[in-house]
C-alpha cells in the first residue's frame, strides 16, 4: 500500500488543498504509459529519421500520453478519482491499514485518561489519502482500555464541514471483548445478507505515530449518511431527515419496551437524538412515548393493527430473528433488557431498528428460539398471534437457509465460509497484536467455537422448528 511520502518520491505533483488523491493512481499510470513509450523511443532512436513518419508517430503517442496523464491528474485533483470511495474502505475481503499521527504526548495522554472523552487532534491516513486535524477520543463502555483504546474519529471536530470519503466519523473498535476477533464483523455481514439494517465494517491494522497499535475494526458511524444509504430518503439539510436515536443503556434499570409514563424525560434519557435540527421535544420524543404506550396498552388481538403505524413490524421481527439465529444475548432481547441498537423514525412514519455492537453474538448454538420473548412487551404480544408467530419462525428458517447456503468457494455454507475467510484474513495481524488482552489459548478456543457454530446452529434451529410444527426431523433428539 503506497503512502503519501512514497507517492511524492515518484516525482508526481500533489493536488492543491488535497493530500494523496493522485498517489493511488499515479504510479500505475506512470508504469503503463511512460515506461513503454520510453522503451519504444530507445528502440527506434538512431535508426529512424527524426522527420520520418515513424518518428512523428512516436511524438504523437508521447504527447497523447502526456495529455492523458495531465487529464487524469486534473480529475484526481477535482475529487473524482474512483480509487477513493467509502465502499473500498469497508471492503471486508481486504485487511485495511489506517495510520493516525498525533502530536507529541497526545497518544500517551489519551491512553492514560482512557475513561475520559477528551478529544485530541491527529492526522488520519488511509490508502495514501490523508485527512488533517481530525478529532480522536477514547470510546466504549466495558471495552475501554488504556493499553488498546477503542477510538472515535470525528472528521469535523476541528475543521467544520470536513468529511472523509463522505463520512463524518468512524469508529475504531479495539476488539477487547472478542477473543475470536470476528464475532462483530461476521454478525453485521450476515445481517446485511438478511436485509437487516446494519453498519458496514472491515478489519484494519492500526498504526499510531508509525507503531503498530493492534488489530481493530473500522465501523461505519450510525448517522444521517448511513440512514441515507440504508433507506435512501434523507434530506441532509434537516427538513426531512427523520429522527435517529442511540439507545442509552441504564445500568441496573433494564428496559424491555415498558411504558415509562406520559412525561418525555425518561425517553430523552434512554433515546439520545443524534441531531435535533431545531425541532421541538414533542416532535422528537412524543412518538416514542406513543409507541411504548400503545405497546403496553393494546391487547394482543388488536396489537398488530394498532402498532403497525408506529413500528415496522416486519423489520422488527426480521431483526429479532436474525439476532436469535446468531445467539446474541446482549441485544434487543438482551439478558439485562434491551441494549445495543439505534432507532430510526422516518418523518411521519414508523420506527425501525438499526443493529449495533454485536461482539456478544454467537453465544451458543443451542440458544432457544424463544429466548426472553415473554420478557419483552412487543415480542410477547406478537408471539400471541398465530400468523405473526408463524412469520417469526419463518424468518428463522430463512436465516438458517442463508447460513447453510453453498456458494462459490464455500462448500460448508455461507456462514462458515465467511467466518473462515475472516479468520484467515486477520491471522497474522492478530498474531502481531501485542496489546490484545487474550492469550493464544483463549484466541484459538474462541476461533474453534466460531467455526463450529454454523453447522451446530443450523441443526438446532431445524430441530426446534420441526418440533414447533409437530413433525420432528430425523436426527433430532
In DSSP terms, which residues pair with 432 in a beta bridge? Answer: none
Residue 91 grid coordinates = 471492503
pLDDT of residue 82: 54
Quote the CA–CA distance of 223 and 312 in Å, as a whole number: 20
- Give the position of cell 462458515: 416
Helices then strands, each counted (H, E), the chain = 16, 11
Contacts of 252 (CB under 8 A, 6+ apart): none
Quote the CA–CA distance of 341 and 410 in Å, as a whole number: 31
Boundaries of every domain in the chain: 4-77, 86-224, 225-404
Half-sphere exposure (CA, 13 Å, Cβ side) for 406?
A: 2
Provide the angle, in degrees to the nearest 10, between the axes of the packed helices 35-44 and 53-77. 170
Per-residue pLDDT tens listing for the chain (477 residues): 322 222 223 333 334 333 333 333 233 333 333 344 333 333 433 444 445 554 554 455 444 544 444 444 444 444 435 577 999 999 999 999 999 999 999 999 999 999 999 999 999 999 999 999 999 999 988 788 988 999 999 999 999 999 999 999 999 999 999 999 999 999 999 999 999 999 999 999 999 999 999 999 999 999 989 999 998 865 555 445 689 999 999 888 899 999 999 999 999 999 999 987 788 999 999 999 999 999 999 999 999 999 999 999 999 999 999 999 999 999 999 999 999 999 999 887 899 999 999 999 999 999 999 999 999 999 999 999 999 999 999 999 999 999 999 999 999 999 999 999 999 999 999 999 999 999 999 999 999 999 999 999 999 999 999 998 888 777 787
264: phi then psi, degrees, rounded to nearest 5: -85, -20
pLDDT of residue 336: 94
pLDDT of residue 252: 85
Residue 454 Cα distances to 301, 324, 369, angstroms: 36, 13, 15
Contacts of 146 (CB under 8 A, 6+ apart): 111, 112, 114
The three state secondary structure string of 327-388 is: CCCCCCCCECECCCEEEEECCCCCEEEEECCCCCCCCCCCCCCCCCCCCCHHHHHHCCCHHH
Interior angle at CA 216, CA 166 and CA 120, nearest 5: 65
Cβ 288 vs Cβ 269: under 8 Å: no
Q: Could you say which DSSP state residue 475 is in?
A: T
pTM (predicted TM-score):
0.82
Largest CA distance in the chain: 95
Contacts of 351 (CB under 8 A, 6+ apart): 287, 288, 291, 310, 311, 312, 343, 344, 345
- Give the position of cell 445500568: 251
Q: Is 34 left (phi over 0), alpha (psi -120 to 50) or beta?
A: alpha
pLDDT of residue 474: 75
Q: How many CB atoms lie within 10 A of CB 78?
A: 11
Cβ 319 vs Cβ 328: under 8 Å: no
Amino acid at each position: 500500500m503506497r503512502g503519501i511520502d512514497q507517492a511524492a518520491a515518484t516525482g508526481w505533483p500533489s493536488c492543491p488543498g488535497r493530500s494523496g488523491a493522485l498517489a493511488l493512481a499515479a504510479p500505475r499510470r506512470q508504469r503503463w504509459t511512460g515506461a513503454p513509450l520510453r522503451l519504444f523511443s530507445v528502440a527506434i532512436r538512431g535508426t529512424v529519421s527524426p522527420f520520418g513518419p515513424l518518428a512523428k508517430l512516436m511524438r504523437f503517442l508521447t504527447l497523447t500520453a502526456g495529455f492523458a496523464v495531465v487529464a487524469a491528474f486534473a480529475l484526481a485533483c477535482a475529487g473524482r478519482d474512483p480509487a477513493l470511495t467509502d465502499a473500498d474502505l469497508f471492503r471486508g475481503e481486504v485487511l485495511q491499514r489506517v495510520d493516525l499521527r498525533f502530536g507529541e504526548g497526545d497518544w500517551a495522554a489519551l491512553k492514560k485518561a482512557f475513561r475520559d472523552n477528551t478529544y485530541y487532534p491527529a492526522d488520519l491516513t488511509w490508502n495514501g489519502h490523508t485527512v488533517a486535524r481530525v478529532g480522536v477520543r477514547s470510546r466504549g463502555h466495558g471495552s475501554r482500555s488504556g493499553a488498546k483504546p477503542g477510538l472515535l474519529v470525528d472528521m469535523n471536530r476541528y475543521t467544520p464541514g470536513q468529511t472523509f470519503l463522505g463520512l463524518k466519523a468512524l469508529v475504531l473498535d479495539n476488539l477487547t471483548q472478542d477473543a475470536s476477533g470476528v464475532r462483530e464483523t461476521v454478525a453485521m455481514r450476515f445481517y446485511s445478507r438478511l436485509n437487516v439494517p446494519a453498519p458496514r465494517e472491515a478489519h484494519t491494522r492500526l498504526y499510531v505515530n508509525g507503531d503498530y497499535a493492534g488489530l481493530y475494526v473500522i465501523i461505519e458511524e450510525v448517522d444521517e449518511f448511513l440512514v441515507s444509504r440504508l433507506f435512501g430518503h434523507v434530506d441532509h439539510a434537516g427538513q426531512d431527515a427523520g429522527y435517529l436515536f442511540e439507545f442509552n443503556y441504564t445500568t441496573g434499570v433494564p428496559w424491555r419496551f415498558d411504558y415509562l409514563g406520559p412525561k418525555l424525560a425518561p425517553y430523552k434519557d434512554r433515546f439520545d437524538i443524534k441531531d435535533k435540527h431545531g425541532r421541538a421535544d414533542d416532535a422528537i420524543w412524543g412518538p416514542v412515548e406513543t409507541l411504548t404506550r400503545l405497546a403496553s396498552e393494546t391487547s394482543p388481538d388488536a396489537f398488530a393493527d394498532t402498532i403497525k403505524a408506529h413500528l415496522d413490524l416486519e423489520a422488527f421481527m426480521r431483526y429479532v430473528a436474525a439476532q436469535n439465529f446468531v445467539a446474541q444475548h446482549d441485544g434487543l432481547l438482551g439478558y439485562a433488557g434491551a441494549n445495543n441498537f439505534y432507532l430510526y423514525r422516518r418523518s411521519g412514519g414508523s420506527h425501525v431498528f438499526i443493529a449495533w455492537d454485536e461482539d456478544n453474538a454467537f453465544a451458543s448454538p443451542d440458544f432457544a428460539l424463544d429466548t426472553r420473548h415473554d420478557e419483552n412487551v412487543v415480542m410477547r404480544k406478537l408471539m400471541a398471534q398465530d400468523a405473526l408467530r408463524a412469520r417469526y419462525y419463518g424468518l428463522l428458517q430463512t436465516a438458517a437457509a442463508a447460513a447453510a447456503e453453498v456458494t462459490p468457494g464455500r462448500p460448508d455454507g455461507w456462514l462458515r465460509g465467511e467466518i473462515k475467510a475472516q479468520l484467515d484474513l486477520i491471522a497474522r495481524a492478530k498474531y502481531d497484536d501485542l496489546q490484545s488482552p487474550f492469550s493464544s489459548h483463549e484466541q484459538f478456543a474462541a476461533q474453534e467455537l466460531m467455526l463450529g457454530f454454523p453447522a451446530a446452529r443450523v441443526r438446532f434451529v431445524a430441530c426446534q422448528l420441526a418440533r414447533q410444527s409437530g413433525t420432528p426431523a430425523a436426527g433430532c433428539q
